Amino acid sequence: MRSLFLRYAHVLLILSWLIIGFSLAFTVPLAWSLADSLRQTDVWVHGFALTFGAGVLLWLASRRHRAELSVKDGFLLVNLVWTVLPAFAAAPLLEAIPGIRWTDAYFEAVSALTATGATVIVGLDNLDPAANLWRCFLQLIGGLGIMLLAVAVLPFLGLGGTQLFKAEMPGPMKDTRLTPRIAETARGLWSMYFLLSAACLLAYRWGGMSWMDAFMHMCTTVGLGGFSSHDRSFAYWQSPQLEWTAVVFMALAGVSFARYFMVWRLRSLRPLTQDAEVRAYLLVLVLAVLAVWLLLVLQGSEGDVGDRLRTAAFQVVSVATTTGYATTDYLLWPALGPVLLLFLGTFVSCAGSTGGGIKMVRMLVLVKLARHELVRAMHPRVVNPLTLGRAIVPQSVVWVIMAFMLIYGGCMVGLTLLLLASGLEMVTAFTAVIACLNNIGPGLGQVGPAGNYAVMTDFQTWILTFAMLLGRLELISVLVLFTPQFWRR
């Protein structure tokens, strides 16, 4: 055990700094409790003390061990962060929410930090406001990735962050840098993230939300997490203005923040207008909105043409970007509607956004690869390189995407079989895995927009917790730890 500790002590040193930094997040619900007649203030004091104390103890044990991170170290640290921090985030929920069990509290914390939005809590309107604030604020932290913040800070600690950036950054082309320094890149992404967050906050407040609700829903809109402080989600307000505001900011958050950073640096919209992934993203959203709107018209749903268009736009953008807000129980639509929404949530978000799923860029490469093979079947000697936009896609990237999709399919089948073996009915089991593995939130069946994950047993809850972590870290970053080669020197 001691040799294992010494081998990874430099990783634990960085983890200790991250835990100490994460303890500061507890000051947000603590400040609200202090302002709100001292309600449950001790909960957040205990959470801060536990997290800060654990971070300090780990720092004391590892402070003399400093080294540059290897590729293996980066993967290990990312996995430690995304499994350890939810444990500290879950601790105050045990005090703040009467009757909640540790399994459910950890599930809720993982769902928040991975920006999934699946919940086991019933009665959000009656929940302590600081607890609701905490759940939503965690989605803001987790939206772009805790480790990106670490990459921006690590240089000040005298530690490199390149391997962390590769392990954490979503998408298949992880070696692409926006600036010569990784830390500068991370800070640029966070700047864009906070600018969009500030605009969203002001827009919600202008639309009629209280400052508290505006802040919480800003966190879960820009983070594409979908948590709400109300059981009815956005249907609570019955406000077309707020719904259209959410549509705009969910759609904006589904685009790579790297594109926004390049727009700012170049003072030009060309990084957006000339990006093949962004164009495909917008095209799919528009076509899906029109398809669902037509479905609602043919069904004869309530409201006029404008109401149906707003409902279609809100639900398509919400689920496709893996946010998971709801204004209606779309399980009452014809079966094509909810199935289409869930399918969109598996791939529409852009790489580098706060959304989940396999990402639009991977889908584009797969579609182009299929077309490439069809052409080659008819013309075996044709020279037809695989391109995305004006750039040729390297063969190494194609192989990584193919491996990712194979692992993705295997995980989906394996986790679904485990839920079926536990006694869960088929529709709920399959769609719960899809919703958690792609960080969407609501599925179909018992975990649809009008239900939640409180129906799950402990075993089923842990399976879905693992699925959320797999999806947030894009599978390979987690599964690599289960290979014998990882642990060999």
* Percent of the chain residues past pLDDT 90, beyond the cut: 57
Number of domains in the chain: 1
- The pLDDT value recorded for residue 146 is 61
What's the pLDDT score for residue 158?
Answer: 44
C-alpha triplet 186, 256, 397: angle, nearest 5°: 90
Give the DSSP H or E segment for 410. helix 395-421
Dump the DSSP string for 62-77: HTT------HHHHHHH
Task: Provide the token pair at 405.
Answer: 């999709």
Confidence of residue 2 (pLDDT cuts 50, 70, 90): low
- Domain presence at residue 155: yes
Q: Which of 29-33, 188-192, 406-410 has the lowest mean pLDDT?
A: 188-192
- Give the pLDDT band of residue 203 (cuts 50, 70, 90): very high
pLDDT of residue 101: 94
Q: Please report which confidence band the pLDDT of residue 483 belongs to, taking 50, 70 and 90 as the band edges.
A: confident
Whether 483 is in a domain gets the answer no
136 in a structural domain: yes
**Averaged over 8-23, what is the pLDDT?**
90
pTM (predicted TM-score): 0.91
**Could you tell me if residue 338 is inside a domain?**
no
Residue at 109 is within a domain: yes
Q: Residue 303: which pLDDT band, with cuts at 50, 70 and 90?
A: confident
Model pLDDT, residue 379: 80
Pinpoint the alpha helices (H) of 300-359: 305-320, 336-344
Domain range for residue 47?
2-179
Flag whether 353 is in a domain. Answer: no
**Residue 449: inside a domain, yes or no?**
no
CA 268 to CA 438: how far, in whole Å?
A: 32
Cα(445)–Cα(379) distance, rounded to whole angstroms? 47
- DSSP assigned state of 394: P
426: amino acid identity, one letter: M
Which pLDDT tens digit goes with each residue over 246-260?
999 999 999 988 889
Indicate whether 170 belongs to any domain.
Answer: yes
User: What pLDDT score does 323 carry?
Assistant: 95
Report the chain's terminal Cα–Cα distance, integer Å: 15
Cβ-based neighbours of 50, under 8 Å, separated by 6 or more = 88, 91
Sequence-distant (6+) residues with CB within 8 A of 437 are: 408, 411, 412, 415, 467, 468, 470, 471
Question: Which CA distances in Å does 232 have to 238, 319, 324?
Answer: 10, 16, 12
What is the widest separation between alpha-carbon atoms in the chain? 76
